[in-house]
Structure 1
Amino acid sequence: MCDKAIVEATFSAINSLFCQHLAGYTGRDVSRRGERVEDRAVWTIPELQDLLDEWLLAGWQARPHDALRDPFRPKKAMSPNDKYASLVAACGYLPLVLRGEDYLELLPTAWRAVNDYGIRINYRTYDCADLGPHRRQHSGHAAKRGLWEVHYDPYDLSQVFVRTEQGWITVPWIHLPLVNAPFADFTWAHARRLAAAKGLDDTNEAGVARVLDELLSRAEHGPDFRSAKVAARTRTAAAVPAPEADSETESEPEPEIQPPAAVATFGVFDAHAEAERWL
């Protein structure tokens, strides 16, 4: 089977075994579309990715495939997990520890220009002195119109990594000193929504950075239950009327000072004498 046929068969299996069971599935044409699909709840792209990852582990990897066979048991279809276990039992495996550069290679990629101000990604600016020789320069990738390969961690947007001929360059976010904790892409998106809700410009990087810092500070310290309790007690005390003073109330008499009681003294304990009493 050629590579194209394998890819088409894989997409067909994913479509029939996974996609068609999702809410909002429209089908490949109108004849395979459900009724009023647009009125049903739909999943976001990150939610779909989580569902697909879960299905691959629990469904695809554990499901027997007709194309997977063992030479010693040709009539029995095997799952990808079974085939992998069979190959490892026959040939063994060599675990390789990933290096730091290997992790960078696995990160998502964005192609950006290196300008005088640095690199812009989703209304965030990254810059450092090491980018100096590469500003306004062609990256050498003609297929990408001279843009530079930038890798980023969606769960830590405090810095990005630019690939150059000399190696990787770590470029920090210019407003990182304003934010007291690492933040993810969804945190940044939420901060922009909060800024817009306050009437601020959600494309203003410094303004969104201040909103982001407030959000992370509040999340770090947790809910202030103590201040809430103090405020509630204060409001309750203010609502209760103070008791009126009674002018005819007699003052309490001062307590009489009693002389100290006599102290009972004890003699020195004699262990031998005490033992004689018990003989």
Structure 2
Amino acid sequence: MPVLTSADGTAIAYEYGGRGPALVLVDGALCHRSARPLAALLERDFTVYAYDRRGRGESGDTPPGAVDREVEDLRALVAAAGGRAGVYGKSSGAALALRAAAAEPGVTRLALYEPPFIAEAGLAEQAAAYSVRLRELLAAGRRGDAVALFMAHAGVPEPAVAGMRAQPHWSAFEAIAPTLALDDAALGDGFVPRDLARRVEVPVLVATGEASPQVLRQAARATAEAMPGAAFRTLEGQTHDVAAEALAPVLAEFFGG
């Protein structure tokens, strides 16, 4: 598997396939290269790059973590893709992609799916309380509790979280729990970073799911409105866990434009 070296010396693992213009996929929280089904559909028209964000999968990590280091990682991947690439980000990965697009002139087009800027829906206090508690739990080494806190924050019912904690795969979540702080940092205070959004001058698509929670749909709408000329799409019948088959044609049309 190819590995690139980010600006601070951290090794970032990635994979790519397909043919055509470069397209980079950015995962959300607790995921690494989770968009493989989506990549398989997009590889018909694009050279698709997927990577392990720092601290996940086969990528390294160099403390202290910071959102600026993650932006540097994504910029390095765009460089590895030939210096010009479209970028698609989902959830907190969309917030990271937005930040990178504001800093990286090699990003040619930007697509975002439901960046969870929940303060835009009146949940600024909830976002702030989550940030404080997350850092407390991580500082205390309570990784499992940090993951459970994130899942509750994301709307997963408490019984479901309890059931997941009893499963063998929970240890994999605990292993990358510190990366939750990076996702939270990418979201800042929970509001759309309008100063950064205004710097993105390339074509932008912001999408949401028709069946997603109202808070996420409102956050997506606010993100689109903060970015001059951004297109906004609602995908019929889709939730935050958007189906690759529903999303791929939308992205192919946008990035192929």
Which of these two proteins has the greater Rg computed from alpha carbons? 1
Question: Which TM-score bucket, shorter chain as reference?
Answer: under 0.3
* Structure with more contact order per residue of length (Cα contacts < 8 Å, sep ≥ 6): 2
Question: Taking structure 1 as the reference length, what is the TM-score of the superposition?
Answer: 0.19
